[in-house]
Amino acid sequence: MIAIGCDHGAFELKLEIIKHLQNRGFEVKDMGCNDTNSCDYPIYAKAVADEVASGNAELGILVCGTGIGMSMAANKVEGIRAALCADCFSAQATREHNNANILCMGARTTGVGLALMIVDRFVDTPFSNDERHIRRINMYS
């Protein structure tokens, strides 16, 4: 299952991502927000991060205007490795090397077509389980 959340600035992108993932056969849990009314993004970042950290969701996706605030807020939750990605290579590399478990993107910086390609690369790429990457990840805390 993939947990997804957004703020008001990325509501439309979130809907596109949900539809795309469901069409690919993924179960998606929408953690909000639910419209374009102004809201506080840390609420939704924490909701998604808690779902992932607890094991209720395998991965998470967070979108806001730039993705920066969401990534900063999500990374406050223990066990979360949220990565802001604006290209497919970064999405693949962060899964392979960092075992990132939450993808963050900006709706105002990344078009829908590219965002969906980034999502695909993120969810389709497994962690390498390479000893050197595991060692480095363990140094995070």
List, by residue number, the catalytic residues: 64, 97
Burial call 92-122: b when 16+ CB within 10 Å, e when fewer: bbbbbebbbbbbbbbbeebeeeebbbbbbbb
Contact residues for 29 (Cβ-Cβ < 8 A; gap 6+): 1, 2, 3, 4, 51, 56, 57
Tokens encoding 138: 């363990």
Task: Tell me the β-bridge partners of 3.
Answer: 29, 60
Chain centroid offset of residue 115 CA: 11
Tokens encoding 81: 């490795």
